[in-house]
Amino acid sequence: MDVGNGKTISVSPPLNVGIYTSAASASFGQVEDAVIQKEAKAAGINVTVFDSQFNSALQLKQLQSAIQTKKYNVLGVLPVDGQVICKALSEDAPNAGLLVVDFDQPLCGRFTEEGQNLWQPGTLDYISGYDTKATLRQWIDATAAANKGDHSVAVVEGVASDGLSTNTNLLVKEAEQKYPGFKVVTTVNTDYSTEQGYQKTQALLQAYPDVSVIICTQSNLTQGAARAVEQAGKTKSMFVADYGGDKDVVDLMSKGEVQLTGPTYPASEGKVVVQTLQDVLAGKQVPRFVPVPFKVITSANVDSYKPEY
């Protein structure tokens, strides 16, 4: 397999794959990990999942151990922080003869890139169903377009250093230029939990009573934010935009508590990860960037939308 930088890696069956996920306990991670294990078993590929618990230092330690022991000949990684593990995956792993499949978040600060530039040389490819500027731009533009006129906007996002937060911050600035009156007045960071989504939305509603649009970058955050909005008696006057599109968010959309979502696709993404491994076994060179189809969901098409988690 050609991994760029003039380097090739030979992988022979059986494939022993270490999957290093950011948080196996999160609903998104549970679905993706289960699909990867099921599809891999059917394909005769051995998979072991490691949970990094949203801890970038722990994930780096796990990967360093895998590279040193060479227990696995393929590393499939959903990064906690793509910069922290950049050298380990783009240099150390290929130098050790290990093939790296990166999914869900780009490596080495590439989250601000687009298309094939999301791929980091030294790895096989980058797979994503949602974490790209193209999908985020589509979602944020749809949110801004649905709120023409003057609107004070609050952004409730996850860890400040990750690609999703960084790109969201860049793209809401783009939206402010394209849609006069659409103005972000506050951005709050969280640990992606529902409880922090709730608590921090409560606080921002008190500090910024004129906020009429809330953008949430993950469905757990949306659930917490919607509860805070409901308790503040502002459900009818607030536009809540979700990124994630899980089952609970679909329920909130049916109740009129969330107006729009940009879905994420853990099952589809997991299947693509395993298909990539099957292509490796078949000796096929896979594309550097493998996007999973994306479509913004509103009240107009929510009835035909089937959430994957």
| Beta carbons of 33 and 49 less than 8 angstroms apart | yes
- Helix segments in the chain, DSSP class H: 27-42, 56-69, 86-87, 93-95, 133-145, 163-178, 194-207, 219-231, 247-254, 266-281
Torsion 254-163-190-153 (CA) sign: negative
* Spatial distance between the Cα atoms of 28 and 75, rounded to a whole number of angstroms: 20
Predicted local confidence at residue 23, as pLDDT: 76
| Beta carbons of 10 and 278 less than 8 angstroms apart | no
| Total-model pTM | 0.88
Q: Is there a cis peptide before residue 106, judged by omega within 30 degrees of 0? A: no
| Beta carbons of 279 and 127 less than 8 angstroms apart | no
Residue 179 token pair: 């849609």
* Spatial distance between the Cα atoms of 243 and 260, rounded to a whole number of angstroms: 8
Helices 266-281 & 27-42 angle (0-180, nearest 10): 30
Residue by residue, pLDDT tens for the chain (309 residues) are: 999 999 999 998 899 999 999 877 778 889 999 999 999 999 999 999 999 988 999 999 999 999 999 999 999 999 988 999 999 999 999 999 999 999 998 999 998 899 999 999 999 999 997 778 999 999 999 999 999 999 999 999 998 878 889 999 999 999 999 999 999 999 999 988 999 999 999 999 999 999 999 999 999 999 999 999 999 999 999 999 999 999 999 999 999 999 999 999 999 999 999 999 999 999 998 999 999 889 999 999 999 999 999
If we measure between CA atoms, which residue out of 50, 97, 57 comes closest to residue 77? 50
Predicted local confidence at residue 3, as pLDDT: 97
Predicted local confidence at residue 145, as pLDDT: 97
If we measure between CA atoms, which residue out of 217, 241, 231 comes closest to residue 163? 217
Length of the chain (residues): 309
* H or E segment to which residue 152 belongs: strand 151-157
- Domains of the chain, first to last: 16-128+266-291 (3.40.50.2300), 133-264 (3.40.50.2300)
| Beta carbons of 67 and 74 less than 8 angstroms apart | no
